Chains A and B, each alone.
Chain A
Amino acid sequence: MATGYYLGVDVGSVSTNLVVIDENGYIMKKIYLRTEGKPILSVQKGLDQLGRDFKDHEILGAGVTGSGRKLIGKVIGADLVKNEITAHGVAALHVHPGVKTVFESGGQDSKIIIIREGTVVDFAMNTVCAAGTGSFLDQQAKRLNLSLEEFGELALRAQVPVRIAGRCSVFAESDMIHKQQMGYKLEDIVAGLCEALMRNYFNNVGKGKEILPPVLFQGGVAANKGIKAAFEKELGYEITIPEHYEVMGAWGAALLARKAGKKKGFRGFSLSDREIRVESFECPDCPNCCEIVTVVIDGEAIPGWGGRCGKWEKGVSRATG
Chain B
Amino acid sequence: MKVGIPRALLYYWYGPAWKAFLSAAGLEPVVSPPTNKAIMTAGLKAAVDEICLPVKVFIGHCLELQKNCDAILVPRLTSVARKEYTCPKFMGLPDMVRRLLPRTPVLIWESAGSFLPQRLWTPPGPGLLSEEESPDPAGQAGTAGGITNGNAREIIPGITRGRGRMKKALAAAGKAHAIYTGLLRRGYLPEEAMAIADGLRGRPAGLRQKTKSPATGQDLPDTGARVGAHGEAKQDLIGLYGQGVKPDRVGVQRHGTKPGRVIGLVGHPYCLYDSFVNTGILRFLQEEGCRLLTPEMLPEEKINAALKGLPKAIYWTMGRLALGASRLFRAYAREQAGVDGLIHVAAFACGPEALIGELIKRECSREIPYLQIYLDEHTGEAGLHTRLEAFLDLAGGKERAGCV
Contacts and interface: CB of A to CB of B under 8 A. Distances in A.
Interface of A: 25, 67, 70, 82-86, 89-90, 93-94, 97, 118-123, 125, 127-128, 208, 255-256, 258-259, 286-290, 308
B390 A288 contact: no
Interface stretch (B101-109, B232-240, B393-401): B393-401
Contacts of B370: 122
Contact of B365 (A89, A94, A122, A289): A122
Interface string B358-385: 0001100100011000101000001101
Given A83-B389, A120-B393, A286 B404 contact: no
B310 interface: no
A286 to B, nearest CB: 7
A288 B37 contact: yes
B404 A259 contact: yes
A256 B374 CA distance: 29
Contacts of A84: 386
Most buried by A among B370, B387, B393: B393
Given A90-B404, A94-B403, A256-B404, A83 B390 contact: yes
Most buried by A among B398, B402, B403: B403
Contacts of A128: 376
Contact of A118 (B36, B39, B280, B403): B403
B38 A258 contact: no
Nearest to A255: B404
Interface residues of B, number: 29
Contact of A287 (B36, B386, B393, B402): B36
A286 B280 CA distance: 17
A84 B382 CA distance: 11
A290 B37 CA distance: 8
B387 A125 contact: yes
B276 A288 contact: yes
- Which 6 A-B residue pairings sit nearest by Cβ, starting from the closest? A85-B390, A93-B403, A83-B389, A287-B38, A287-B36, A120-B401
A89 B403 CA distance: 8
Nearest to A93: B403
A85 B386 contact: yes
Contacts of B401: 86, 89, 119-120
B390 A258 contact: no
Given A287-B37, A287-B39, A125 B394 contact: no
Contacts of A123: 390, 394
A242 B36 CA distance: 46
Nearest to B389: A83
Interface string B90-134: 000000000000000000000000000000000000000000000
B402 A119 contact: yes
Q: Which DSSP category, helix, strand, loop or mixed, fits chain B's interface?
A: helix
B386 A125 contact: yes
Contacts of A120: 390, 393-394, 401
B403 A90 contact: yes
24 contacts: A67-B383, A82-B389, A83-B385, A83-B387, A85-B389, A85-B390, A86-B389, A86-B393, A86-B401, A89-B401, A93-B404, A94-B403, A97-B403, A120-B390, A120-B394, A122-B369, A122-B370, A122-B394, A123-B390, A123-B394, A127-B374, A208-B361, A288-B37, A308-B280
A256 B390 CA distance: 14
Contacts of A258: 404
Nearest to B275: A308
Given A119-B398, A287-B39, A308-B280, A86 B390 contact: yes
Contacts of B382: 67, 70
A288 B34 CA distance: 10
A120 B401 CA distance: 6
A192 B51 CA distance: 36
A119 B389 CA distance: 15
Given A86-B393, A119-B403, A125-B387, 15 more contacts: A70-B382, A83-B385, A83-B387, A85-B389, A90-B404, A93-B402, A120-B390, A120-B394, A120-B401, A122-B365, A127-B374, A208-B362, A255-B404, A287-B36, A289-B37
A93 B398 CA distance: 13
A289 B398 contact: no
Contacts of A259: 404
Contacts of B365: 122, 208
A83 B393 CA distance: 10
Most buried by B among A83, A89, A128: A83
